[in-house]
Amino acid sequence: MSGENRQKFYRPFDSLEEFVDAISERFQCPVTIEDANHHLLAYSSHDEGTDAARISTIIGRRVPERVIHRFWKEGVIPTLNQSDEPLVIPEIGDIGLGNRVAISIRSNQEVLGYIWVSEVGCTLNEQDLADLKLIASKAKNQLLQLNLQKKKKEKNHQELLWQIITGDIESHQMIADQLSNIGLHGNKPLGIIIVTFESMNQELYKKVVYTAKTIQKVTILIETLDENQLILLISPSSPKKEVSDVTDFIDTFKAQVKERFGIANLQSGCGYIYENYNYIKRSYDEAAKVIAFKRAFPEELPHVRFYHELGVFRYIDLLKKTEEIRDYPVSPVIQKLQSYDEDNRTNLLETLEVILNKDGNMNEAAKALHCHVNTLTYRLKRIQEITSIQLKDPVQKFGLYLDIKLFKCE
């Protein structure tokens, strides 16, 4: 870069748009600047030769999810995050990406954003790459102020979320007005997703929030951390597909966290999606109950994501709080089987529970208990002899199922 060209990037710029135009003029190529979550901050003009990935980024104001995911698979994002050197990225035709050169904009070890240069009608040489590294160092000043403003907004947003989920703000209109200040316009249905990690620190928090925000299945309005729990206030992309949108988001999030950071066995829960914002606190409570019940009943609820999928378990808390239930002795069936098991070193109570869990499917129950179907048939006959229960009676069957789950909760 000539001395004159260097001086262009030492002076202050009035805006990122002016800065990105100066970069584009230097390389005679289209340029975009993104934040650390791949949201578009500024872009230069381009001609008809630009590629589909850049057009989609500009239209959607963020890099398409399929492009981000491919960049992770190809090692592009990890390399950019760990280095301050320019990275040459060859064409990836199946995602509409032409030749690129990218570099991270960093402040110490923190990535503030990225500069992407589309090699349309040109190829950057060694001097160009050296100049791009200098430009990225100057871009830091442009993004630091934006980053400070962003962190201040996030802190205010998190305080608002805590006010909502603790019930300090209960009015739908008041919540709607506060949310409109952070960019949510119109009464979109909202809900809470909670994801629990075994441990959490600030570095991991940044990574998992980045992962969540680059999955474009739902809109994340606010995110916060409560010890080792990630709490997300979300809005589905389409009210008609809210269940599938949230399901796709949760499944994709877990898969990417495992693939990128080696973290598996995450517990997650989602409350109802409500149009009345008075119920956002309820959605939070529901999401927390999903996680609590999945921990208490891992075999019965391994695939549950939503509160409504808890089925009969939604009522166990209510039954436990009922005075009559609390004072009522343990079911005679449970007492008899427990006593028999202790005296004879058998597992008839467990056998009954598994049969109920499998809705009477003897083959499935036998697999779960690691025994032959004939053995299970004998045990069931013995259970009926000891207790006189009739599992073909749906009333008795349902009552026993509840009795056993309540017994396990004690």
Domains of the chain: 3-149 (3.30.450.40), 166-315 (3.30.70), 329-409 (1.10.10.2840)
Distance CA 319, CA 338 (A): 22
**Position 204 pLDDT exceeds 60:** yes
Task: Give the number of other CB atoms < 10 A from CB of residue 349.
Answer: 21
Query: CA distances (Å), 121 to each of 48, 80, 99, 246, in order?
Result: 11, 24, 10, 42
Instruction: Give the 3-state DSSP-derived string for the chain, with helices as H, strands as E and coil as C.
Output: CCHHHHHHCCCCCCCHHHHHHHHHHHHCCCEEEEECCCEEEEECCCCCCCCHHHHHHHHHCECCHHHHHHHHHCCHHHHHHHCCCCEEECCEHHHCECCEEEEEEEECCEEEEEEEEECCCCCCCHHHHHHHHHHHHHHHHHHHHHHHHHHHHHHHHHHHHHHHHCCCCCCHHHHHHHHHCCCCCCCCCEEEEEEECCCCCHHHHHHHHHHHHCCCCEEEEEEEEECCEEEEEEEECCHHHHHHHHHHHHHHHHHHHHHHHCCCCCEEEECCCECCHHHHHHHHHHHHHHHHHHHHCCCCCCCCCEHHHHHHHHHHHHHHHCHHHHHCCCCHHHHHHHHHHHHHCCCHHHHHHHHHHCCCCHHHHHHHHCCCHHHHHHHHHHHHHHHCCCCCCHHHHHHHHHHHHHHHHC
Q: Is the pLDDT of residue 232 over 90?
A: yes
Q: What angle is formed at CA 193 by the lines to CA 187 and CA 194, rounded to 5 degrees? A: 150
User: Which of the given ranges, 232-246, 247-261, 286-300, 335-349, has the highest pLDDT on average?
Assistant: 247-261
Per-residue pLDDT at 49 exceeds 80: no
326/36: higher pLDDT: 36
Which residue did the predictor score with more confidence, 47 or 143?
Answer: 143
Q: pLDDT per residue over 372-410, tens digit each? A: 999 999 999 999 889 888 888 888 888 888 888 888 776
Residue 328 has a pLDDT of 65
Condensed to tens digits (0 to 9), the pLDDT of residues 145-195 reads 888 888 888 888 999 999 999 988 878 889 988 888 877 766 789 999 999
pLDDT at 185: 67
Label residue 326 by pLDDT band (50, 70, 90).
low
Is 3's pLDDT higher than 60?
Answer: no
Amino acid at 292: A
With pLDDT > 70 as the criterion, what percentage of the chain qualifies?
95
pLDDT at 7 over 70: no
Mean pLDDT of 197-216: 92
Task: For residue 89, report the phi and psi dihedrals to the nearest 5 degrees.
Answer: -120, 110
- When pLDDT is averaged across residues 259-281 and rounded to a whole number, the result is 92
Which tens digit of pLDDT belongs to each residue from 10-48? 777 888 899 999 999 999 999 999 999 999 999 998 777
Question: What is the model's pLDDT at position 231?
Answer: 97
Residues contacting residue 246 through CB under 8 Å, at least 6 positions apart: 191, 193, 217, 218, 234, 236, 270, 273, 305, 306
pLDDT of the residue at 398: 84
> pLDDT digits over 94-112, tens only?
999 999 999 999 998 889 9
Q: Quick check: 327 pLDDT over 70?
A: no
pLDDT at 210: 94
Q: pLDDT tens, 351-377?
A: 998 998 888 899 999 998 999 999 999
Q: Which of 273, 266, 305 is nearest to 289 (CA)?
A: 305
